[in-house]
Chain A
Amino acid sequence: MKSLTITSLLLATLAMTPAQAQSPSDLNDLEIAHVAYVADNIDIRYAHLALALSESPAIHEFARTMIRDHTAVNTQALALLDKLGASPQDNFLSQSLTADSEKIIDELAQLRGHEFDLRYAANELAYHSAVNNLVANAFIPNIENDEVRTLFEAGLEIFRAHEKHAKAMVESLRG
């Protein structure tokens, strides 16, 4: 089965040209918040899968950190939206990320042992890289609310650290 990466799926999504142009840069603050919430939850799902299927202590530690950190960001995001009296808005990009993640989960669920660990780590690296690129280049420059932007900047710091951690994990697993 051709290996899917979230990067290739995300790039394919962004390249789509439906009748009504849909670009991540056109999303409003509440849609952006929804994408971030969904992206966090997707990584939390991947982490739970890793805890269930991997036997590697290093993978488990990484997965627990993903759950811990993404949950902390989502908690802050929801608190901020509550303070602003707003609700995140579903949109094409959230739906696409969710659909793509189901394919990744199906692929990961077939694997075990070192093959699973390497695929999980590689997907974490690709996923964080793609999402960080989206946040840095499409979201942060276009967010209108200062508090939302500040939260995204803090979140980007966290996810860049995750990307580095995932890269180190991939290098370690490849020997």
Chain B
Amino acid sequence: MSLGERLVRVMAVAMALAFNSLGLANASPVNHVVEIRSFKFVPETVTANPGDTITWINRDIAPHTASSNDGNWDTGVLVQNASKTLVVEQQWASDYICQFHPAMKGKVVLAD
């Protein structure tokens, strides 16, 4: 291997390491879990990337939903211990509520 070829290889490895450390490599989707308990979404705010998933699990006796205010997405009815996983999409950033108990509020924020 010539000096030039060796230099190119070293630079490629260095760049790959640099991109990895900056988190710019292809990251695997993350599953975020939101527990519904005591009439609250826990955590109240989820910061996610498009392609991530969010799983809502209802721990309350009362049925709940997680329904975006802009109508883009909805878990449907979740009875006790039921869960629903949705894939986060680009247009997802929004506040959401439980349709049955509108004082329950949550938020999905897209990561930069």
Contacts and interface: CB of A to CB of B under 8 A. Distances in A.
A76 B79 CA distance: 12
A73 interface: yes
B39 A157 contact: yes
The interface residues of chain B, by DSSP majority, are classed as loop
The 8 closest A-B pairs by CB, nearest first: A69-B62, A65-B100, A161-B39, A158-B62, A72-B61, A154-B61, A76-B61, A157-B38
A158 B103 CA distance: 12
Interface of A: 61, 64-65, 68-69, 72-73, 76, 154-155, 157-158, 161, 164-165, 168
Contacts of A154: 60-61
Contacts of A69: 61-63, 100
B101 to A, nearest CB: 6
Nearest to A154: B61
Nearest to B99: A61
Contacts of B94: none
B69 interface: no
Nearest to B100: A65
B108 to A, nearest CB: 23
B39 A72 contact: no
Contact of B61 (A65, A73, A164, A168): A73
Contact of A161 (B63, B80, B103): B103
Interface in B54-68: 60-63
Contact of A164 (B38, B60, B79, B103): B103
A65 B101 contact: yes
Contact of B103 (A68, A73, A168): A168
Contacts of B100: 61, 64-65, 68-69
